[in-house]
Structure 1
């Protein structure tokens, strides 16, 4: 069975379902880790974390490598935070979110006038992630409004200001909190 990772979002209440799934699957992973820690040696634990499916996909709950879970989970949270902002700002719009490795922009309005990329990383400059996203957004000639939403502890404000100056048609928004209720 193929899981549909492209989802239409109409209102903020829908986002709470996804937040609940993220928390639930994080809890499953932590419980699994507690057992693993009590039953394995240090190197066995690290081996399992690196190579085995010790975690769960954050939204849909199938088994997944924990490193992938972490990467996806925080990007999903950034996407959900972005959707809260977008739904507040554009009350008459509906949005399509592409979770995971689904193709297309991470978030796009149903009329394709608003496009967004979202990510979470230790540093937004790592692997040129933010620049690649900004170039992709810049290349789109259809959308009227473009956003880059991200979370990072190591974002340098001077670098971000330079990016904002270099990409004036794209709103670069740093999400400051990735906690969910």
Structure 2
């Protein structure tokens, strides 16, 4: 069994760690180069200095784009807040207009009820249920009196201007008509 110098062992371990670190950095540079190329950049050289310079430029471009997007986001969020506020105002105005329309409609119904009291009455409350069989309606035996201004056909010379004959009124009640058309008796 050979005993190694602890200092030599430490140097070998340190060298192995440096090689692993170098390989890891090289892989990271290749990955970074791949991402830079994916961002539509092409370089004639791919040495470390060129890659780092190009990466720095890409990062500057990306940070400026991020700054522009932050400004744009701030303006859009401000506009969004204004639009939300305006939307709430429109919603409140719509609700107030709807309440005003309902109020005006209620006033209209109240005035209509005052002008035409029968319009608000439910017909089922006022009228009795219909009969299941026909019922005779009584007709007055005499003339039906109406106001002279409502008399139809005044120019025909109605003898009694305050009355219109009812359908049951017998025009020939005096009997004089029958006597005039009677055949004279032979004597």
- TM bracket, shorter-chain basis: under 0.3
Report which of the two has the higher share of helix. 2
Higher strand fraction (1 or 2): 1
Give TM-score, length-normalised by structure 2.
Answer: 0.20
TM-score (norm 1): 0.20
